[in-house]
Structure 1
Amino acid sequence: MCGIIGCVSDADVVEVLLDGLRNMEYRGYDSAGFGVHDGNTIRLGKGVGRVDEIARSLDLKTFSGKIGLAHTRWATHGGVTPENAHPHLSCEGEVAVVHNGIIENYQAIKARLEAKGHRFRSTTDTEVIPHLIEENLKAGKNHREAVLDAVRELKGSYAFIVLFRDLYDRLYGVRKDAPLIIGLSERGNFLASDVLAFLKHTNKAVFLENLEVAEVRRDSYTIWNFEGEEVQHDISTLEWEAMSLSKKEFTHYTLKEIHEQRETIALAFRQDPDDLDRFCLALQGAERIYIVGAGTSYHAALVAKHLFLNLAKLPVEVILASEFEDYATLLDEGTLMLAISQSGETADVLSAVNIAKKRGVCVLSIVNIPSSTLARESEQTLYLNCGPEVGVAATKTFTAQLAVIYTIASRLSNLSIDLEQITEAVKEVFNVERQIAYLAQAFSTSKDCYFIGRGINYPIALEGALKLKELAYVHAEGLAAGELKHGTLALISEGVPVIAINPSDKTYHDTLSNVAEIKARGGRVIGLSDIENSLYDYHVKIPSVGKLFYPLVEVIPLQMFAYYSALERGQNPDYPRNLAKSVTVK
């Protein structure tokens, strides 16, 4: 979940490293740091806070070097302190490391190294790596052997970059169950956990496979597997453009990405017909289908189940990726897995995919990043086509997932898609933005908020609640409206806000009855509907679309409500506390 970058160049790399960190802050932002080799020693600059805050606290003019590494942190082991910020050095400062992931057996390794006289400065799991490599160097290993011998001892999921004090023309990178990519440019080469770290400088990349080590120099690179055997990989050309990382005229990436849905939903609907046909044939040929996802992608999976089951009569079950291991005994060659992920690097999803593949299961995926591990591990993939999403909370990727799911459902059944109507409705729904901002202000002191919906609208209630929790830190629950009377109605009291997702589909009248039950107990109801009703204290009008397509338009006001609620409560919606976008640890 952390972001790591290394660079070997013919020019100074300090600003290159810092710029790379800024583009990866969505992966973690509680602390950050960098290290550069000045020709004599490895100099570190690090601290607690955002990248720019740390940069302002340092005299950057005193740092220079043509090789370095950097890190932005999402804490897993050890508190948020300057000492725990990366990079970490070995005892004598011979080895510097930045790391993303978890070292499961670090305590045993640390105890053994301490017994040999090693002194540790942090409480992280990461710090054992440079000490272990330094120990291997003392035993007479060369630099590559010292790294390879270290990784054979480490248990866990990780990627890390190594810089040596006595070897300042190359970096080493290691990948095990976490992404690591080589970027190739005319003026130097990169190692990074995300292409966004170097996309400004090059669109040429080499994707390390699992259990591989890379040596990267300014104008060359070599890759070995963990057994020390040299391997070759193709050079990929990245499709994204660096300009897509700009916030343009918007204050936050989150708001920009909410507004981009005017275009991205239509782009996601436009799938290659041949790819779509092959994808659907695989679904139709399965005896049973398990859809896995996490967070927002899990909510998209619930919409997929509703459509595939009701329209195409496919035998579908949705399972949280983190819980999938308990269902492994049900897998056989007649099973198909559909994995849904924004990043394609979510550890729980990749773990589920690995379990499925070991049992001979066909894996399909819906993913945003074509170069992701999930895309490479899948037999077939459909892409969201919506460009990078920087805001930690998923917005445009969720509606893009829905668009791809509707496209699949249409090919599997007689569902007709009126893309022109949907596109116009998505544009029209932004007319309520000012009203949404007012409602966020009106309920800015509320400690709780409930979202209700039925049928295909229930996953949207879950998603609306998740967004409010993520961005505004409000206790929020998404509920199937019919379940209110089975317990949650006891929590409804005078003034408690409830958002009723109630379009004019087959669930309309039943949900309206639930609204009446809430009103009778003093709840304040925001009705999200294309039909006005006197039961609503506030009516947020959404445009009319085909009855199954309301999720595409009703979720956007909920995203805006979470965004403006965050602002009203003094929070930065781009960087919610304790969260990171790409969850690469289990």
Structure 2
Amino acid sequence: MCGIVGYIGKNPAQSILIEGLKRLEYRGYDSAGIAIYNQEDINIMKTKGRLANLEEKLDGNHLEGTIGIGHTRWATHGAPSDHNSHPHASHNDKIVIVHNGIIENYMELRDELIEKGYAFKSETDTETVSHLVFDYYKESNDLFEAVMKAIKRLEGSYALGVLCKDNPEELIAARKDSPLIIGKGDGENFIASDIPAILEHTRDIYLLENGEAAVIKRDSIEIFDMEEKTVEKEIFHVDWDIASAEKGGYDHFMLKEIFEQPQVVKDTLLPRLTDKGVQLDDINLNKEDLDKINKIYMVACGTASYACLVGKYLLERVARVPVVAEVASEFRYREPILDENTLVIVVSQSGETADTLAALRMAKDAGARVMAVVNVVGSSIARDADDIFYTLAGPEIAVASTKAYSCQLGAMYLIAAHIAILKGKMSMEEYKELKDELMSIPDKIEKILDQQDAIKTLAEEYIAAKNVFYIGRGLDFAVCMEGSLKLKEIAYVHSEPYAAGELKHGPIALIEDDTLVFGIVTQEELNEKTISNLKEVKARGASIITIALEGNEKAKKISDHVIYVPRTHWMLTSILANIPQQLFAYYVSVGLGHDVDKPRNLAKSVTVE
């Protein structure tokens, strides 16, 4: 959940750490801090609040030195405060640590260390690690050995950056279930939670695996496994530009990412569409494999779980296979029936989502085959899955997912078509019709984005709405769930999605004068029924905004406003109907004066339970 950056080299560390943290602040922004070695001591500066608070504190208090670590925090153990901010130091400030993850047995270790005389200054689990490392270090004066002994006692997840006052020429890194990379430079090296933090300085990256640790010096990087045996790794060369992680002239990252959707959807879809069928290079699922599968689960969290719901509808309808779509936090604890005849499809933007990763590993342990839909190459979920579909959305900085979700929907379309063709449920004529429509989707998204000003006007008109409901049927209900989530996430407006047919079973009691209702009406065989439900809420005083396919005059008659989206294949309407919802939520949030890119209490990559 937190962001880590580290540097050892020949240049002043402070500016490198601060710039790296700026590109990691999406991972957490409750507090921030840096620690830099100045040839005598490790000086720490940290503070509650945004990174700007730390920069203000550093103004006039520059920390000298060419080796250091930094951290931006999303609070788990202990409220946001100066004391709970990272980095955390051990006894006598000898060992200094930054940490992302959760140490599940920290209370047990804390009690043990208190008995030994260690005094704690924070409520965090991380401070326990700093004292534990020091406890081992004082026995041998070997920092790497002390870190290895400490991490073998840790239960939970961690990505660690460790400095020692006695060892000014090395930085130790280690990871388990939390992302950490090493950047290789010329006479300088880096660690970070994510590539954008160090891309300005190097494109050559080592991806640390679970249970690996590294000794990093100015001119060398040594990587070891838990048995302290040397690990030989290939360099991963990053081929995307740092500009892709900048705002590019937009007011917010979220708006930039909304407008990037035509291109990233095109990148995700078009290379995989051939005249002979869907080409999925990293999915080796053939007809014989499918014939053995009698059960499919689709598992994810948050926005990604709504992509799974779309996937469920499509797989059942076009491939005629039974599918269960579940949120990962429930799936992993309810003892689902899994075996070698089960296919589990997990979806995650970051590839590090804790509950989804745990669900994947549980499925693998039970012998199930796991397919991953992820956006980050080399992420934990990508490495652990049997088959991988990479959504080519590029870096997504805003906490609320937009372009990554659209690419996840694209993945659902391609996977459903691929499986349907393999099972003989979709003819080549049907595929070619779908292929033509898929190839036109980027242009149709552009057409919807051209309505930006009109949607902004609607957001301004309804900005005072206190209760908003989203209703739809079938695939449209999945669209409702994502639209409602976006409004909650970034505008903090109470909203609820309902299957339109369920209105009369309770929710209609909540409708009163000036309640705002979004009706999603893109599934033509269900139009009449959903429009009938819209009439019911209209009769009770609701204002109605309907998202409908072009030419739907009935929707226009019942609605206060209609946002039309281009006509397309029935399978593909979800991706188009969702775009106006993104823009509406964005402009409501902006109008209310909220921080769109960093909504309160949320973080981009949820790497803890």
* TM surpasses 0.5: yes
Is 2:352 the partner of 1:345?
Answer: yes
Residues of 2 paired with 1:549 and 1:329: CA distance?
A: 30
Does the aligned pair in 2 maintain the 1:71–1:87 contact within 8 Å?
yes
Does the aligned pair in 1 maintain the 2:46–2:85 contact within 8 Å?
yes
Residues of 2 paired with 1:283 and 1:322: CA distance?
A: 27
Is 2:414 the partner of 1:407?
Answer: yes
Residues of 2 paired with 1:341 and 1:358: CA distance?
A: 20
Structure 1: stretches of 5+ with no match in the other structure = none
Task: Return the match for 1:556 from 579, 585, 595.
Answer: 579
- The alpha carbon displacement at 1:141 in A equals 5.0
Residue 519 of structure 1 is matched in structure 2 by 538
Residues of 2 paired with 1:60 and 1:389: CA distance?
A: 34
Provide closer, same or farther for how the CA distance between residues 280 and 249 of structure 1 changes in structure 2, counting only shifts above 3 A: farther
- The alpha carbon displacement at 1:279 in A equals 4.1
Does the aligned pair in 1 maintain the 2:177–2:380 contact within 8 Å?
no
Residues of 1 paired with 2:449 and 2:577: CA distance?
A: 11
TM-score w.r.t. length of structure 2: 0.93
Does the aligned pair in 2 maintain the 1:288–1:315 contact within 8 Å?
yes
Does the aligned pair in 2 maintain the 1:527–1:536 contact within 8 Å?
yes
Output the aligned Cα RMSD.
Answer: 1.6
Is 2:499 the partner of 1:480?
Answer: yes
> Which residue identity does 1:549 align to in structure 2?
L
Does the aligned pair in 2 maintain the 1:296–1:463 contact within 8 Å?
yes
Residues of 1 paired with 2:404 and 2:438: CA distance?
A: 18
Residues of 1 paired with 2:290 and 2:156: CA distance?
A: 34
Residues of 1 paired with 2:35 and 2:577: CA distance?
A: 47
Does the aligned pair in 1 maintain the 2:282–2:387 contact within 8 Å?
no
Aligned with 1:468: secondary structure?
A: helix
- The alpha carbon displacement at 1:61 in A equals 5.7
Is 2:330 the partner of 1:307?
Answer: no
Residues of 2 paired with 1:215 and 1:335: CA distance?
A: 41
Residue 243 of structure 2 is matched in structure 1 by 243
The alignment-based identity, stated in percent, is 40
Is 2:416 the partner of 1:397?
Answer: no
> Which residue identity does 1:516 align to in structure 2?
K
The number of residues matched between the two structures is 586
Q: Deviations over 1:113-162 (max 9, x none)?
A: 22222121111111111111111122335211211111122211111110
Residue 135 of structure 2 is matched in structure 1 by 135
Aligned with 1:333: secondary structure?
A: coil
Aligned with 2:529: secondary structure?
A: helix
Aligned with 2:355: secondary structure?
A: helix
Residue 362 of structure 1 is matched in structure 2 by 369
Provide closer, same or farther for how the CA distance between residues 154 and 283 of structure 1 changes in structure 2, counting only shifts above 3 A: same
Does the aligned pair in 2 maintain the 1:250–1:256 contact within 8 Å?
yes
Residues of 1 paired with 2:348 and 2:389: CA distance?
A: 11
Residues of 2 paired with 1:29 and 1:152: CA distance?
A: 29
Q: Deviations over 1:342-362 (max 9, x none)?
A: 111101111011111111111
> Which residue identity does 2:531 align to in structure 1?
L
More deviation, 207-216/572-581:
207-216
Residue 491 of structure 1 is matched in structure 2 by 510
Residue 113 of structure 1 is matched in structure 2 by 113
- After superposition, residues 414-433 of structure 1 pair within 5 angstroms as 414-415=430-431, 416-417=434-435, 418-433=437-452
> Which residue identity does 1:317 align to in structure 2?
V
TM-score w.r.t. length of structure 1: 0.97
- The alpha carbon displacement at 1:457 in A equals 1.0
More deviation, 430-439/475-484:
430-439
Residues of 1 paired with 2:282 and 2:228: CA distance?
A: 40
- The alpha carbon displacement at 1:11 in A equals 1.0
Q: Deviations over 1:13-67 (max 9, x none)?
A: 1111111111111110111111111111111111122212320232266212110
Residues of 2 paired with 1:521 and 1:60: CA distance?
A: 62
Does the aligned pair in 1 maintain the 2:172–2:216 contact within 8 Å?
yes
Residue 31 of structure 1 is matched in structure 2 by 31
Provide closer, same or farther for how the CA distance between residues 318 and 329 of structure 1 changes in structure 2, counting only shifts above 3 A: closer
> Which residue identity does 1:585 align to in structure 2?
V
Task: Return the match for 1:445 from 458, 464, 473.
Answer: 464
Structure 2: stretches of 5+ with no match in the other structure = 273-278, 421-425
More deviation, 307-316/47-56:
47-56
Is 2:193 the partner of 1:193?
Answer: yes
- The alpha carbon displacement at 1:193 in A equals 1.5
- After superposition, residues 222-241 of structure 1 pair within 5 angstroms as 222-241=222-241
- The alpha carbon displacement at 1:556 in A equals 0.6
Residues of 2 paired with 1:72 and 1:520: CA distance?
A: 50
Residues of 2 paired with 1:184 and 1:311: CA distance?
A: 47
Residues of 2 paired with 1:239 and 1:361: CA distance?
A: 34
- The alpha carbon displacement at 1:298 in A equals 0.5
